[in-house]
Each structure stands twice: as structure tokens, then as C-alpha cells.
Amino acid sequence: MRNLKVMMAYRGTAYHGFQIQNNGITVQEIVERCAGKILNEPVTIHGCSRTDAGVHAKQFCFSVQTNSRIAPLGFVRGVNGELPKDISILSCEEADPGFHARFSCKGKEYLYLLHCSECKDPFSIDLACHYRRRFHPELVYEAAQHFVGEHDFRSFCTNCAEKTNTVRRVHSFDVEIEGDKVKMLVKGDGFLYNMVRIMVGTLLDVNEGKIPADTLDAIMAAGQRKLAGRTAPAHGLYLNRVFYNEEELKG
């Protein structure tokens, strides 16, 4: 039995997230169907993350075991030939038998994309969050540094069970400006449900003066979701990179 490590990208607009669900079509469902057709056997793919409905991925890893002797390049070409236009296989390589896309992952980087303008951009609908307010990059960047380090992020998690371990380490939180686009890039060992979207929403509330930046540590320490800011819309969020090497994650 071979174990393949596969990278893909997808536009999440049409899907109810990555993981198979009963209430809508998902990326996993589509990829398993197309990969099974090329490998000529039923397959189950193991993803590196569970993305929400409408969330995108620039780099998403999955592992899959197969008896097929297909070459990695043949897998890429064959599966891409079956997939819809909003999902693409980027690469495929042989992996050790013990490799698992989720459990072998050392960390992830998420991108949140804002389109800052009074007018909407028809070319970024469902691909960036339209934000009409004036954006203060220095204020937001300084506020974002409160999230860097190891903290209990229970205040920034949706529906976290009481016994859930909510301590995570954020390695960096950057804010980049490109014309009328704002990129927020957050890198960490792991993330809770809706954690990035709540952090971004909270930073937007800081930007608008609704939450003072110097209260973020207290909000974090309180462990109460109601004290943090809004949950930013899903369509501005991308899984940007996945790391299987500690040096790349911390670099």
C-alpha cells in the first residue's frame, strides 16, 4: 500500500467546507470521487484541516493510501482532468507509511483578505471581504501583536466545549497593504474553530474604535467569547500554507 502526500488549492465558494457533511457538497467528497476514478479504487483522503463553508485554500495538504501504481505526475494530471475548475491538484509525492496530512502537520498560516474601498470590486466578490471603513494599518498591526505567543484563546473560539484545550501558539501576525487590498497573515501551531475569523473581526473592531487595543490581553484572559469582537465573514479567509517542517514554520 502506497501513501501519497498531495497538495491542492480550491475556491471554497461553492462548498460546505472541506470535510464530508450531510447538508451539502464538500471539497472532500468531490476530490475522493475524482481520485477514486483515476486510481480505479474507492479512496478516503485525509485532510490537513477542516475549512468552513466559503473558506478558500491556496495550499491544502491531504494524504491518501492506494494500491495503484500510478506515477505522482500521472495522479496530478489525471485527477485535475476530472476535477471542476475551482479545485486544482498542485503536487503529489510519495510519503512515508506513517505520514498523515493532519497529524504530521506542524503548523499553518492563514490569510485574511480585505478589499478596502467605498465601492465593491466585482472581481473579488466571494474572494475578499469588502470593508468600507478607513483602515489604520499601524493601529491594527500593533493590536495584532497581542495575539503572538502562547495564550489561551477561548475568547476567540466559537462553541468551545468546557474541557477543550484552548491554548495555542501564534508565531506571527502580519498586516500587509497592497493598494486597496489588506492582507492579514497569521501563522501558528494550530487554530481553534473560527479563531482566525474572530481575531480578524476583533481587530476590525479595534480599527473602528469599538474595542480599545489595550484591552485585548484582558479579553484573552477572561476566556469569554462575548467579550471579543465580531466573526469576520468566511469568504475573506484562506488557508495559505501548511508546514511539515519546524524550521519553515518558525522562519
Name the residue with cell 473558506.
55
Instruction: Determine the Cα angle at 72 with ends 66 and 78, to 5°.
Output: 85
Burial profile 3-18: b = 16 or more Cβ within 10 angstroms, e = fewer = bbbbbbbbbbebbbbb
Task: Kindly give, in sequence order, each residue whose CB lies less than 8 Å from that of residue 215, ignoring residues fewer than 6 positions away.
Answer: none
Q: Which of 52, 152, 174, 205 is catalytic?
A: 52
Cα separation of 158 and 126, whole Å? 22
Active site residue 180: no
Cα separation of 19 and 193, whole Å? 14
Catalytic residues, by residue number, are 52
